[in-house]
Chain A
């Protein structure tokens, strides 16, 4: 009896798989069919989940509203990764299997990852409009570069350089510094750290770089451990948005603010509060709001073939690097008394005091950037 039951079980399991196999075999060629679902989706896929992307989502949703995207049957959806290329690959494959997804903006988690690049190319070839935001593909890879229409965001190396210049102004005689980040192997992490070293100069000596895999509690532990290990560590650099508040908390706990320089990327609400209290020396702020807003505008224009909007965003399209749209950088300092001055930075970088920056946030109804 049990033998019969086992055989039946095997047959049932096999038939389950066979059923799906049958679908696989019989459906060839159907992909070319015209599909016009009532609502078509534009997906904005982040590399991970952090408050940084909240401003991005706000920008995207405001664009959806202000540009009346829904009128053309389009819907904007924010989808968040978990800092792993595999999640992005999985999601891209999912998008390709859907019939209502017509545009994708992606923050590429690892531009060197060939599987991810292949998936981007495959998605683009399936007819989905594709752009990159915040983190681009490897621009040397021609296949990947042409798969995505263009890039909206900042140059992470240049952003690192600007923050490095700010740190150098705070410690003109040099410093011993450590960097704190979620995933050390992430390209934006490496570019920012490299840029920071370049901007700060050779008198800045990196003692270590710590990764926390996106865990906020580990981020704090890393700062404490680094300070324990290195008595001469005097400059702490937050590379991802949540790293700066983690640094501020530990420096405050240990009561070493007077002898420690704290600088970091992005302007999470806790970072803004820390700067108000005098616990943070400089923030290098990108403009995720603009990336979200322009991302939706560009994808809508590509889907609807609105050449005027496309031309406005990429006036030099077709020329070298004409497929890159810089969304700008901001250096934020506590006040005019800061030793960091506007003339240190590149022309495209906006220099703001905290008060000015808060006014800018209020203008766009943002709590952070």
Chain B
């Protein structure tokens, strides 16, 4: 596990193996390389359409990574932000609403968003980022003044902001032009539509944000204070750190990055629809941060790890789409979920003597052995196109033998 400059984790104390000293980024790079290699062997798309696929992965990684960075900082500071998905939906709506209200009217008296001009777009982006700042500030107030747990404060936004967006969008569209209320806003301006669709623009935003946040977290006192607060808030407060200010910064970064992602997603999708935009994305952001080495208990994690966590997630999702030829959507969640568990478990275990770890102790271990074998059997069955029953039984039985052997070895070693 990599650590902050000021808060080295006790797990990195001297005397540990070389494996535990390697930064999490090395493991992730290796994992990404393995997934890309595997995909390249199973499917020829990476070889024959290299540029297209690389650009696509970079675009999708950037869109996810931008708000995962904010989520990571909140997690490092010891909090959690569940509102990213709703902030994305709300921000897209705000950005489109500002553009719609400032757009010129056509002959029928309705807004014409075909040619807005850079000024209106810039104003809409600034206004949306400002709204992100307000949301972050409101979260901080709920947490520090009212005393709500971060989980509850941001959960309220997760539920409430989307609903507020749905109500507002109808009020706004109903009062502009002559058409009446609408549940969506379409923006047709080509400049705005390029923001989220031309692959290098979100990538540029992602890289610039990453560098800025990396500098903040690694090179400044504020960054050290955030790590310290995440490690032990009370100790940080007693040592003179203004924890409330640090929280404000963390939650504002969380919601501002989500707002930026909201603008880009709105451009990418070509519409603002608070009903469905960014649904469930908060969990993607948390997953990217956790895969990247952030500990949900706070104080541990890096910006670079989060960048690679996002890249790993997108590479895996792309790999599933490329390699599972029939109904990839049905398998995506299962495979991504499995790899996320493996990646995070590896992160957790590699610092704690992986080889000495007992995976199947006691009765729980025996039950888990059968559960795992059953799961592997089911996956073997559903992934096979011919003779699913035999493949399922065969893989399940093979897993039971191997895992059973491991359990036996563990037991014999402990005697």
Q: Do A and B bind each other?
A: yes
- Chain B residues with CB under 8 Å of chain A are 2-5, 8, 23, 25-26, 28-29, 32, 43-46, 48-58, 60-61, 182-184, 186, 188, 193, 197, 199, 203, 207, 210, 214, 218, 265, 268-271, 273, 275-277, 279, 302-305, 307-308, 311, 318, 321-322, 325-330
- A10, B188: Cα distance in complex, Å: 38
Most B C-beta atoms less than 10 A away, residue of A21, A80, A84, A94? A94
Contact check: which of A24, A30, A41, A110 meets B271 at CB < 8 Å? A110
Query: CB of A311 within 8 A of chain B?
Result: no
B303 proximity list for chain A (CB < 8 A) = 13
B279 proximity list for chain A (CB < 8 A) = 84
Query: CB of A154 within 8 A of chain B?
Result: no
Give the contacts of A109-159 with B (CB-CB under 8 A).
110, 112-116, 118
- Least Cβ–Cβ distance between A214 and chain B, in angstroms: 9
A75 proximity list for chain B (CB < 8 A) = 325-326
The verdict on A30 contacting B58 (CB below 8 Å), with A6-B218, A75-B326, A98-B45 known, is no
- Least Cβ–Cβ distance between A369 and chain B, in angstroms: 21
B60 proximity list for chain A (CB < 8 A) = 90
Give the contacts of A240-292 with B (CB-CB under 8 A).
none
Contact check: which of B45, B56, B58, B182 meets A21 at CB < 8 Å? B58
Query: CB of A5 within 8 A of chain B?
Result: yes
Lowest 9 A-B CB distances belong to which pairs? A27-B50, A115-B270, A13-B304, A27-B51, A23-B54, A24-B54, A185-B183, A12-B25, A9-B304
- Least Cβ–Cβ distance between A44 and chain B, in angstroms: 11
- A150, B74: Cα distance in complex, Å: 50
Whether B207 pairs with A3 at a CB distance below 8 angstroms is no
Whether B305 pairs with A35 at a CB distance below 8 angstroms is no
Whether A23 pairs with B50 at a CB distance below 8 angstroms is yes
- A17, B307: Cα distance in complex, Å: 9
Whether A20 pairs with B58 at a CB distance below 8 angstroms is yes
B50 proximity list for chain A (CB < 8 A) = 23-24, 26-27, 30
Whether A30 pairs with B51 at a CB distance below 8 angstroms is yes
Give the contacts of A55-104 with B (CB-CB under 8 A).
75, 77-80, 83-86, 89-91, 93-94, 96-100
A99 proximity list for chain B (CB < 8 A) = 43-45, 48-49
Whether B269 pairs with A115 at a CB distance below 8 angstroms is yes
- A168, B32: Cα distance in complex, Å: 61
- Least Cβ–Cβ distance between B193 and chain A, in angstroms: 7
0/1 per residue, A310-347, Cβ < 8 Å to B? 00000000000000000000000000000000000000
The verdict on A35 contacting B25 (CB below 8 Å), with A89-B268, A184-B183 known, is no
Contact check: which of A3, A94, A184 meets B321 at CB < 8 Å? A94
A51 proximity list for chain B (CB < 8 A) = none
Query: CB of A39 within 8 A of chain B?
Result: yes
Residue of B nearest to A183 (CB): B275
Whether B56 pairs with A113 at a CB distance below 8 angstroms is no
Whether A30 pairs with B49 at a CB distance below 8 angstroms is yes
Contact check: which of A8, A25, A31, A90 meets B52 at CB < 8 Å? A31
B276 proximity list for chain A (CB < 8 A) = 83-84, 86, 183, 213
Contact check: which of A6, A86, A97 meets B268 at CB < 8 Å? A86
A12 proximity list for chain B (CB < 8 A) = 23, 25-26, 29, 304, 308
Chain A: interface residue total (CB-CB under 8 A): 60
Whether A114 pairs with B186 at a CB distance below 8 angstroms is yes
Residue of A nearest to B166 (CB): A211
The verdict on A24 contacting B51 (CB below 8 Å), with A17-B307, A77-B326, A84-B276 known, is yes
Query: CB of A304 within 8 A of chain B?
Result: no
A84 proximity list for chain B (CB < 8 A) = 273, 276-277, 279
B56 proximity list for chain A (CB < 8 A) = 93-94, 97
- A262, B321: Cα distance in complex, Å: 42
Contact check: which of A5, A100, A112, A113 meets B23 at CB < 8 Å? A5
Most B C-beta atoms less than 10 A away, residue of A6, A39, A96, A116? A6
Residue of B nearest to A115 (CB): B270
Contact check: which of B25, B52, B58, B329 meets A96 at CB < 8 Å? B52
- Least Cβ–Cβ distance between A107 and chain B, in angstroms: 14
- A110, B270: Cα distance in complex, Å: 11
- A27, B58: Cα distance in complex, Å: 14
B23 proximity list for chain A (CB < 8 A) = 5, 8-9, 12
0/1 per residue, A211-243, Cβ < 8 Å to B? 101000000000000000000000000000000
Whether A6 pairs with B186 at a CB distance below 8 angstroms is no
- Least Cβ–Cβ distance between B115 and chain A, in angstroms: 14
Query: CB of A348 within 8 A of chain B?
Result: no
Contact check: which of B184, B308, B330 meets A13 at CB < 8 Å? B308
Residue of B nearest to A57 (CB): B327
- A90, B60: Cα distance in complex, Å: 9
Residue of A nearest to B55 (CB): A24
29 contacts between A and B (CB under 8 A): A12-B308, A13-B25, A16-B25, A17-B58, A21-B58, A24-B51, A26-B51, A27-B52, A28-B51, A29-B51, A30-B49, A37-B44, A75-B325, A77-B325, A77-B326, A77-B327, A79-B328, A80-B329, A85-B270, A86-B268, A89-B270, A97-B52, A97-B56, A97-B322, A98-B321, A100-B43, A110-B184, A113-B269, A184-B183
